[in-house]
Amino acid sequence: MTTSATGERGGFTLIEILLALALIALLGTIFISGTNSLLADKGTSPDGQFWKACAQARKQALEEQRSVLLSFDPKARGFVLNDGAQQKALPVSGPDDLVIDFHPAQSDSSSSTLVGGTLVETQPLAAVTFYDDGTCTPFRVQIRANRGAHMLSIDPWTCAPVLAKSDAAP
């Protein structure tokens, strides 16, 4: 603020206002770019990438009105969508030892092996099918990474995760 020769207080000058606006803009730019870099570094888990591939396969089957096969290619480290006319690759990021296998909905006790203290299914399906009516093959997916494994069951009517009994009832 400036004072006049008579000692009366005047308003802010144009330079002072422009400097204040430039400082606010600079701080805002720093804050926004810092926030974007924090959010961009967050990777998607293998589970999240699997659900994204399922959603994409189901969407493609519904839109094109034909069945779509979903498989995992361990050499290319990605999911493959195949509708009979074309193939689409969806790369998967994650640990180097990541393995994703599809299995029948019902477990057979002879198809399980204990590997390094973790029960692992040993007879995978080559691919699963997403149909043009929005349903899919009944299947389970086994995701192995970092010497651990877990199994996800998929509901064939909604192609979504099957809720555990503890999730269904309050």
**153, 147 in Cβ contact below 8 A?**
no
**For residue 100, pLDDT beyond 60:** yes
- Report which secondary-structure segment, H or E, holds 107: none
Written out in words, the top-level CATH class of the domain with range 49-168 is alpha beta
pLDDT, tens digit (0-9, with 9 covering 90-100), for 28-76: 888 887 777 666 656 678 888 889 999 999 999 999 999 999 999 888 8
Q: Which residues of 93-107 are buried (b: 16+ CB within 10 A; e: fewer)?
A: ebeeebbbbbbbeee
Report domain extents, the chain. 12-42, 49-168
Contact 149, 143 (CB under 8 A): yes
Q: How far apart are CA 134 and CA 57, in angstroms?
A: 10
Query: What pLDDT, on a 0 to 100 scale, did the predictor assign at position 167?
Result: 47
What Cα–Cα distance (Å) separates residue 136 from each residue in 35, 60, 71, 145?
39, 12, 13, 25
Work out the mean pLDDT of the chain and round it to a whole number: 81
